[in-house]
Amino acid sequence: MNLYTRTGDKGQTSLIGGRVDKDDARVEAYGTIDELNSFIGKAVTELDPTLFEDVLNDLENIQNELFDCGGDLANVMKERHYKMTDEPIEVVESRIDVLMDEPPMLEKFILPGGSPAAATLHIARTIARRAERQVVTLVKQTEEGDVPMVVQRYLNRLSDYLFAVARVVNSRQNVSDVEYARSAKVFKDGGRSKKKDEK
């Protein structure tokens, strides 16, 4: 099997049911999801299986779901059958509720970082936000129904999960989150229900 095909040498790429320029908003969106998936894969290599069995199980499921998201965004056929449903969102929400109760309560904003794995997960969180913004842009540029909105919702919730799990990773390794030095006390509930990024 040849890895290269030369079909993209003129700046276009294939979708499921069509071809577009490589800088098309749809390609930008699913390409960013691929980038996100890669950083999650990097985080997986940085986690001790004996300490993070539950997290590794989460991340494996998420990587598969992100592959589904990318495939759904790449589908431009007239009759489309999407893989993503609301069920993974519900699972991610339930995991967030569990994970947010584990690390110390927050009073202030924190800086991305801590342990290597937590830092990687924070990178993944910011990429998830970028992917979500790109999906929003794509929705604006296409006809109603041409983009599976479940992908946008999933990415929004996933960034929350990645914030929560990055804090758990630091906590289990006895690494303190680094507070933003000039932050006021902003979390009335200790950061249990809401984080810095926009909902």
Residue-wise pLDDT for 122-145, tens only, equals: 999 999 999 999 999 999 999 888
> Does residue 78 register a pLDDT over 90?
no
Calpha distance 20→2 (Å, rounded) = 22
Helix ranges restricted to H, the chain = 25-45, 53-73, 87-99, 116-141, 149-172
Distances (CA, A) of 128 to 29, 55, 185, 190, 197: 10, 17, 26, 24, 11
Give 195's pLDDT tier (boundaries 50, 70, 90): very low
Task: List all residues 6 or more positions away from 6 whose beta carbon is below 8 Å from its beta carbon.
Answer: none
**Partners of 16 in the β-ladder:** 75
Distances (CA, A) of 35 to 103, 127, 154: 28, 8, 16
Q: Is the dihedral of CA 73, 96, 90, 116 positive or negative?
A: positive
Nearest in space to 97 (alpha carbons), one of 195, 192, 197: 192
3-state secondary structure of 111: strand
> Does residue 40 register a pLDDT over 50?
yes
State pLDDT tens for residues 83-128. Answer: 999 999 999 999 999 999 999 998 999 999 999 999 999 999 999 9
Q: Which fold has domain 20-177?
A: Hypothetical Protein Ta1238; Chain: A; (1.20.1200)
Nearest in space to 177 (alpha carbons), one of 187, 162, 166: 166
Amino acid (1-letter code) at residue 146: D
